[in-house]
Amino acid sequence: MRPILMKGHERPLTFLRYNRDGDLLFSCAKDHTPNVWFADNGDRLGTYRGHNGAVWSCDVSRDSTRLITGSADQTAKLWDVQTGTELFTFRFDAPARSVEFAIGDGLAVITTDNFMDNVPTAQVKRIADDPDDQSEEALLVISGIKGRINRAVWGPLNKTIITAGEDATIRIWDTETGTCLKESDKEQGHQKTITSLSKSADWSHFLTGSLDKSAKLWDTRTLTLIKTYVTERPVNAVDISPLLDHVVIGGGQDAMNVTMTDRRAGKFEAKFFHKILQEEIGGVKGHFGPINALAFNPDGRSFSSGGEDGYILHLYPVVLWFAF
């Protein structure tokens, strides 16, 4: 089966997210307009117009009715997935970076960057069933982190929030009190900016990728380092297969150096590693720029990658390639 090439963005991709059923793929890019695609054939279903800056991340509700996006225009927006209607706008004093719905979709965590005199924060917002009842009030504001927070995700049962970013430290926060419960070990942990974070299907462990050319697997509750996957390029994106003991890692050199490098030497392919054995088991080429986003379909039989080149590659069946 040939890979499906999805071209709808005019600028580099920043984030990819499948819905729970795996039939829709949502993409974010620096061109201000999130897109939604049919996952099986790559047809573009629609766009979400309203942002005035790069869109850094998105998440879709469990029933695929709501989409939330975070943007450099200092807003996070709620959308109606089916109609593309903008339902609500959360306004901040700094760019909104990472967004994620909690279990039950009644809460969302949104991170804001360190911008001007503003410190980086992770804010919990209540998501109302009726958009008319929605408010901008934050239920919890987590601060005190140095450097940008690139990813913030919910822990098991919404009791914790896990953050990672520029200071190369992973932290677990209590969602009731906002106190920091655990920090990753400085020696065992990443040595440079953490760019990405992806949870396993059962939320028992998660994977982080870093500019220190490695990805690391952690226990969600204890923050114990489980595995380390070493590669030869800065890592921009990671994901965990929900079906097999595989992880996929993507990256490449800085975007500013892309035009000076032959695509064969730029290391722009997605690399597959065995989750347990930590060995590289394969790679998928296709992008002619660094990979910025990766996502496995929830059924584990296909995955998509988004690159600095503005293209999305949807590849399947992954099971036939790498099953052993």
Domains 12-183 and 187-192+200-323 share a fold: yes
Assigned fold of 187-192+200-323: Methylamine Dehydrogenase; Chain H (2.130.10)
* Amino acid identity, position 185: D
Q: In what order do the strands lie in the sheet with 66-71?
A: 55-60, 66-71, 75-80, 86-91
Note the CATH number of domain 12-183.
2.130.10.10
The per-residue pLDDT for range 70-95, each reduced to its tens digit, is: 999 999 999 999 999 999 999 999 99
Question: Residue 321: its pLDDT value, please?
Answer: 53
* Amino acid identity, position 247: V
* 307 closest CA partner among 57, 9, 45, 2: 9
State yes or no: pLDDT of 202 exceeds 80: yes
What are the backbone dihedrals phi and psi of residue 319, each rounded to the nearest 5 degrees, phi first? -60, -40
DSSP secondary structure string for all residues of 125-189: EE--SSGGG----EEEEE----S-EEEEEE-GGGSEEEEEETTS--EEEETTT--EEEE--TTTS
* Amino acid identity, position 232: E
The per-residue pLDDT of the chain, averaged, comes to: 92
State yes or no: pLDDT of 263 exceeds 90: no
Query: What residue segments make up the domains of the chain, in order of their start?
Result: 12-183, 187-192+200-323
Question: Residue 296: its pLDDT value, please?
Answer: 96
Question: Residue 324: its pLDDT value, please?
Answer: 47
The percent of residues above 70 in pLDDT, for the chain, comes to: 93
State yes or no: pLDDT of 247 exceeds 90: yes
Q: Sign of the C-alpha dihedral, residues 15, 163, 112, 150?
A: negative
Question: Residue 190: its pLDDT value, please?
Answer: 97
Question: pTM above 0.75?
Answer: yes
Angle made by CA atoms 311, 9, 32, in degrees to the nearest 5: 135
Average pLDDT over residues 105-124: 94
The per-residue pLDDT for range 285-296, each reduced to its tens digit, is: 888 899 999 999
* 216 closest CA partner among 168, 208, 224: 208
